[in-house]
């Protein structure tokens, strides 16, 4: 057997560079690159290995470890999990900075490979700089923080362990069910150690999307259940996109007359103007989708993990029988669903083949069409520019409406936290599946700009528009500079409502007094445009919706990342649509507002479906 003597770091990088994936008939590298911020835990090991391999596996430098991991996550999401990135840091704070991002990837079932440096495996110089010492366990390091937020975790204490650890990592990263973040903690003394690796370990391997077919018995039961329904509704989750099932879903829904509602992850599964698309579902749902869900006798849940926002804390389907079409049995059986464990596209195709001439009731389809028409009229109204623009503070809805009108069909909108995701879920008109990119599984503040960078690296041919509030911007804005350095142009629309407007509204909605969310007059007025300009971006502050639309048009034509700042009203959100969200209210109310909120809470909680 032929062997190659390499350091452990060189072997790891050579193995990653040998992994490929098949996309639309083309074979391309599985890893689009490695994000690296070097320190004493990886600069002398993985650093030289990455430098030597930079033509086959490019290395990107970021300004913040959490941000670069967000960019890697967004890259994988944009590629529908068919391509991914790795991230390496030094030990200590560099590593733990990525733990939040690991949780984002874990919740959203997205692949990213974390290669944090670790303390010495030989323990000779302990304790080293940045080492976390556990008084009762000598094996613990800061990287143990990754355990609960990784789908697979390992610590490489011998070079030859890579022969098992790397294939195990790739199995998880490319598996449709187990897919999620993988952490391989890499002690800094092991990285430069050498070993004679089998040459065949580095042979090119092509990974393809696996499509598990449904079990015959489960399929038969699902077909029987659907044929017995007259008022069915399809709920499209992120699994539709990861399965590349948008086309078969659109055809299936149109042929059978079944309305389709969408979760945050599933939004864009159907074009917004598809005849059967009734809009978003749940807490931030359209009035059309939520009204249909309330009366549906059957819900086909495709590729969703049924989080509380989608299910309105388990109140959205009071009468419907649920069929859970999901590649993972864990999700397929949620909320008492009748499971149909299969790849989303394979499952829809199998259902279509067994339903014969069955269709939803014609009156039900007609009702969906009528409700959607009315909802679209609401969207037109709340997103329209003010009739007379007097520079009063615009609403989030008016801002996103202006941006949506100027975005163009090639744009991808990116957002994550605050009040904007709710407004975007209700109101943004997505032309296709890739055009709507929301991280709302973890709703992580700070994802927006870094995520936008990852999206642009994955889809350089498309316009990327980041919608971000002032709170998230202040938490993490450093990758504006990275986007300029990488020539990865973004359009960033920054809505400044002077604080955490979304949580302020929730605070008042649950009977509380405004407290510690909005900035008072003592807080400085921040010149966001000047700040963004200092990071290398083009930047402008506009004073109205009338000024915003031409600014977006100019930004589309710009060659450099552009930040557009606009002040907005923190008190107003779209009242139409939406439904209840379970946020507990005090059992011992101290005010009339709290008593009212508690009474409403108890009423809504009785509607929860617990089985």
Average confidence (pLDDT) over 473-492: 97
Confidence at residue 519, expressed as pLDDT on a 0 to 100 scale: 85
Predicted confidence band of residue 391 (pLDDT cuts 50, 70, 90): low
Confidence at residue 294, expressed as pLDDT on a 0 to 100 scale: 97
> Angle at the Cα of 418 (from 602 to 456), degrees rounded to 5?
140
Please give the DSSP secondary-structure letter assigned to residue 229: -
Confidence at residue 460, expressed as pLDDT on a 0 to 100 scale: 98
Q: What is the pTM of this model?
A: 0.97
Hey, which CATH number is domain 384-567, 3.40.50.970, 3.20.20.140, 3.40.50.720, 3.30.70.3270? 3.40.50.970
Phi, psi of 275, rounded to the nearest 5 degrees: -60, -30
Query: Would you kindly state where each structural domain of the chain is located, as residue ranges?
Result: 3-207, 216-374, 384-567, 582-611
117: β partners: 186
Average confidence (pLDDT) over 473-499: 96
Which range has the worst mean pLDDT, 369-383, 386-400, 437-451, 486-500? 386-400
Average confidence (pLDDT) over 391-414: 93
List the 59-60 sheet strands across, edge first: 59-60, 31-36, 84-89, 113-118, 182-187, 152-155
Average confidence (pLDDT) over 581-591: 92
- Position 47 pLDDT exceeds 80: yes
Instruction: Write down the CATH number for the domain with range 216-374.
Output: 3.40.50.1220
Average confidence (pLDDT) over 207-235: 97
Average confidence (pLDDT) over 506-516: 87
- Position 506 pLDDT exceeds 90: no
Average confidence (pLDDT) over 272-286: 97
List the 412-415 sheet strands across, edge first: 436-438, 412-415, 464-469, 491-496, 562-567, 538-542
- Same topology between domain 3-207 and domain 384-567: yes
Statement: 3-207 belongs to CATH 3.40.50.970: yes
Nearest to 109 by CA among 169, 27, 177, 52: 177
Predicted confidence band of residue 389 (pLDDT cuts 50, 70, 90): low
Confidence at residue 136, expressed as pLDDT on a 0 to 100 scale: 96
The mean pLDDT value of the chain amounts to 96
- Position 390 pLDDT exceeds 80: no
Phi, psi of 355, rounded to the nearest 5 degrees: -90, -5
Nearest to 259 by CA among 365, 377, 376: 365
């Amino acid at each position: 057997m032929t062997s190659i003597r390499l350091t452990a770091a060189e072997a790891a990088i050579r193995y990653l560079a040998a992994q490929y994936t098949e996309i639309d008939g083309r074979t391309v590298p599985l890893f689009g690159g490695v994000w690296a911020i070097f320190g004493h835990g990886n600069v002398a090991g993985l650093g030289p290995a990455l430098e030597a391999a930079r033509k086959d596996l490019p290395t990107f430098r970021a300004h913040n470890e959490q941000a670069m991991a967000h960019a890697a996550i967004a890259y994988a999401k944009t590629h529908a999990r068919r391509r991914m990135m790795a991230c390496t840091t030094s030990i200590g704070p560099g590593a733990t900075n990525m733990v939040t991002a690991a949780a984002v990837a874990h919740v959203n079932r997205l692949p990213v490979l974390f290669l944090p440096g670790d303390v010495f495996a030989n323990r000779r110089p302990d304790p080293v700089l940045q080492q976390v010492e556990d008084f009762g366990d000598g094996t613990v390091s800061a990287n143990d923080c990754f355990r609960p937020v990784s789908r697979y975790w390992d610590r490489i204490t011998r070079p030859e362990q890579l022969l098992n650890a790397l294939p195990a990592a790739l199995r998880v990263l490319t598996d449709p069910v187990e897919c999620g973040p993988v952490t391989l903690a890499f002690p800094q003394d092991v990285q430069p150690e050498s070993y004679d690796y089998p040459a065949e370990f580095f042979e090119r391997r092509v990974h393809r999307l696996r499509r598990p077919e449904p079990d015959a018995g489960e399929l038969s039961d699902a077909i029987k259940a659907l044929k017995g329904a007259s008022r069915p509704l399809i709920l499209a989750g992120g699994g539709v996109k990861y399965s590349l099932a948008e086309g078969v879903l659109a055809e299936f829904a149109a042929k059978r007359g079944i309305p389709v509602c969408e979760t945050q992850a599933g939004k864009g599964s159907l074009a917004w103007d598809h005849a059967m698309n009734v809009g978003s579902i749940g807490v931030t749902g359209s009035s059309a989708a939520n009204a249909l869900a309330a009366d549906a006798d059957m819900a086909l849940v495709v590729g969703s993990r049924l989080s509380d926002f989608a299910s309105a804390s388990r109140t959205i389907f009071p009468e419907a029988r649920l069929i859970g079409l999901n590649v993972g049995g864990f999700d397929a059986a949620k909320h008492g669903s009748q499971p149909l464990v299969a790849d989303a596209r394979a499952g829809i195709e199998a259902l279509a083949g067994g339903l014969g001439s069955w269709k939803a009731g014609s009156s039900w389809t007609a009702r969906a069409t009528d409700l959607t028409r009315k909802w679209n009229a609401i969207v037109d109204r709340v997103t329209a520019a003010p009739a007379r623009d007097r520079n009063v503070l615009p609403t989030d809805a008016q801002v996103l409406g202006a941006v949506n009108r100027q975005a163009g069909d090639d744009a991808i909108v990116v957002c994550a936290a605050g009040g904007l995701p709710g407004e975007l879920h209700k109101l943004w008109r997505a032309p296709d599946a890739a055009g709507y990119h929301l991280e709302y599984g973890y709703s992580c503040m700070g994802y927006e700009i870094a995520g936008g960078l990852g999206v642009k690296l994955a889809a350089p041919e498309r316009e990327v528009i980041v919608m971000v509030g002032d709170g998230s911007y202040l938490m993490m804005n450093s990758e504006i500079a990275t986007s300029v350095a990488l020539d990865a142009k973004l359009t960033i629309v920054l809505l400044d409502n002077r604080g955490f407007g979304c949580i302020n509204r929730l605070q008042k909605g649950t009977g509380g007094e405004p407290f510690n969310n909005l900035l008072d007059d003592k807080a400085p007025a921040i010149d966001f445009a000047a700040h963004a300009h200092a990071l290398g971006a083009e930047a402008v502050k506009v004073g109205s919706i009338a000024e915003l639309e031409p600014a977006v048009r100019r930004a589309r034509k710009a060659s450099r990342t552009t930040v557009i700042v606009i002040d907005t009203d923190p008190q107003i959100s779209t009242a139409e649509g939406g439904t209840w969200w379970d946020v507990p209210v005090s059992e011992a109310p101290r005010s009339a507002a709290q008593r009212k909120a508690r009474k409403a809470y108890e009423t809504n909680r009785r509607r929860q479906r617990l089985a």
